[in-house]
């Protein structure tokens, strides 16, 4: 089922990242345990854009960690637009990891795009100086971006970051200028500081300021729950595209809405519960094809609450769905729920993880010298995915 809104004249041109054209200018943000091949395929079936795999740790890639090598497999329909996000804190390791992807084809497919993660606010990362803490060390940031761009050759490299560590330690303007100077194709800015985690409301004003400060494309991220939020962000900031994270959890059809919105069309999807159930089963099928039925259905369990958000479903059924272990069992449970229209009350509401603000855990003395080029000790992650 679709809804038709007031006509919109807003349309956004395709995003150009080197030789790669992203049309519409919509990017799926990497999310640990979420943006695996199954979810990327499902989202692509509803719309178009660029769909980034789960975060890959450069150290694990260089060491050819078995789990990491499995995670960077491209699906059959993303051979020409395979997108990888890398986490790394050592310029040499990042450069080597990029070379492996581009020159050796360790993923089985040469990536069309590489993103660098400088936005993760998780304490286990920032307390070692990684993620959203790293841009405070601007020389180190510059060296990492330089090595990545060098290793990538003709593959476009972008970076993703936050406003800063906190209101007193803002980094995004420096990060944007460094990215531009070192040959990055674009920068994504999440409208929160690291200490905000996922609390409150994203501040889009810094996105607009960054657009004015750099010549490379700026992508906006933060609190895009509906396609019309994306239109508002573009209008308010002048950003060249949007990056979608939590807003698509349990709503992969959001990418169809975004494609329509950026083409200037007004239709929006409002699937009935029966239609959502079919999408849920399709999602579980894709996971099962990738991991085996038991593992795939077990992995699917975390998506159930997101898909059913706002629908009238009994607690016993919800509990059973959250413990499902087979596709037939899933189909039977879903068939037993009476059909109902989409719960419009949840439109525009936050989805996924929430949090309260808290001070950012940092290495001792991390804020003392912004021009220290040394990689933070012990900040390399041994496993991929966050």
Chain segment 3-56, per-residue pLDDT in tens = 554 544 457 899 999 999 999 999 999 999 999 999 999 999 999 899 999 999
The whole-number pLDDT of residue 7 equals 42
State the DSSP string of 127-187: TTT-GGGGGGSHHHHHHHHHHHHHHHTTS-EEEEEESEEETTEE-HHHHHHHHHHTT-SEE
The whole-number pLDDT of residue 313 equals 97
Q: What distance in Å separates the CA atoms of residue 191 and residue 163, rounded to the nearest whole number?
A: 6
The tens digit of pLDDT for each residue in 50-59 reads 999 999 999 9
Give the pLDDT mean for 309-313.
97
Range with lowest mean pLDDT among 231-240, 291-300, 345-354: 345-354
Buried b (16+ CB within 10 A) or exposed e, 198-216: beeebebebbbbbbeebeb
Please state whether the peptide bond connecting residue 315 to the residue before it is cis, i.e. omega within 30 degrees of 0: no
- Which residue carries 């809405």 as its tokens? 257
The tens digit of pLDDT for each residue in 247-281 reads 999 999 999 999 999 999 999 999 999 999 999 99
The C-alpha angle with vertex 97 and arms to 64 and 124, in degrees rounded to 5, equals 80
Q: What distance in Å separates the CA atoms of residue 320 and residue 329, rounded to the nearest whole number?
A: 9
Q: What global pTM score does this model have?
A: 0.94
Give the pLDDT band (50/70/90) at residue 355: confident
End-to-end Cα spacing for the chain: 36
The C-alpha angle with vertex 21 and arms to 217 and 6, in degrees rounded to 5, equals 75
Give the pLDDT mean for 217-230.
98
Question: Is residue 304 predicted with pLDDT exceeding 70?
Answer: yes
Give the pLDDT band (50/70/90) at residue 122: very high
Give the pLDDT mean for 156-161.
98
The whole-number pLDDT of residue 111 equals 94
Residue 285: which H helix or E strand, with range?
A: helix 273-291
Catalytic residues: 120
Question: Is residue 76 predicted with pLDDT exceeding 90?
Answer: no
The whole-number pLDDT of residue 151 equals 97
- Please say whether the dihedral angle defined by the alpha carbons of residues 91, 97, 98 and 100, taken in this order, is positive or negative: positive
Question: Is residue 382 predicted with pLDDT exceeding 90?
Answer: no
Q: What distance in Å separates the CA atoms of residue 36 and residue 55, rounded to the nearest whole number?
A: 10
């Amino acid at each position: 089922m679709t809804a038709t809104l007031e006509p919109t004249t807003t349309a956004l041109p395709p995003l150009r990242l080197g030789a790669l054209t992203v049309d519409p200018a919509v990017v799926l943000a990497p999310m640990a345990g979420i943006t695996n091949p199954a979810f990327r395929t499902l989202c692509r079936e509803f719309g178009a854009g660029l769909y980034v795999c789960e975060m890959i740790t450069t150290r694990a890639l260089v060491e050819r960690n078995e789990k990491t090598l499995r995670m960077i497999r491209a699906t059959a329909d993303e051979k020409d637009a395979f997108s990888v996000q890398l986490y790394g804190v050592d310029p040499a390791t990042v450069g080597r990891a990029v070379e492996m992807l581009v020159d050796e084809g360790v993923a089985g497919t040469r990536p069309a795009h590489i993103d660098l993660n400088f936005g993760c606010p998780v304490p286990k990362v920032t307390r070692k100086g990684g993620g959203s803490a790293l841009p405070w060390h601007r020389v180190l940031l510059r060296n990492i971006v330089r090595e990545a761009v060098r290793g990538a050759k003709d593959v476009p490299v972008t970076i993703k970051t936050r406003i800063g560590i906190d209101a007193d330690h803002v980094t995004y303007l420096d990060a944007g200028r460094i990215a531009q100077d070192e040959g990055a194709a674009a920068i994504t800015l999440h409208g929160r500081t690291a200490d905000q985690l996922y609390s409150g409301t994203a501040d889009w004003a810094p996105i607009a300021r960054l657009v004015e400060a750099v010549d490379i494309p700026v992508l906006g991220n933060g609190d895009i729950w509906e396609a019309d939020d994306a239109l508002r962000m573009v209008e308010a900031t002048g950003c060249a595209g949007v990056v979608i994270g939590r807003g698509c959890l349990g709503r992969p059809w959001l990418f169809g809405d975004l494609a329509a919105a950026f083409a200037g069309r007004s239709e929006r999807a409002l699937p009935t519960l029966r239609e959502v159930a079919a999408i849920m089963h399709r999602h579980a099928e894709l996971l099962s094809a990738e991991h085996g039925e038991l593992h795939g259905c077990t992995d699917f369990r975390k998506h159930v609450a997101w898909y059913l958000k706002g629908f009238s479903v009994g607690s016993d059924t919800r509990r059973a769905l959250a413990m499902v272990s087979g596709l037939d069992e899933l189909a039977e449970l879903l068939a037993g729920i009476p059909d109902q229209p989409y719960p419009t009350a949840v439109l525009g509401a936050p989805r996924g993880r929430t949090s309260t603000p808290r001070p950012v855990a940092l290495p001792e003395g991390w804020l003392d010298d912004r021009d220290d080029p040394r990689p933070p000790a012990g900040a390399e992650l041994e496993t991929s995915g966050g």
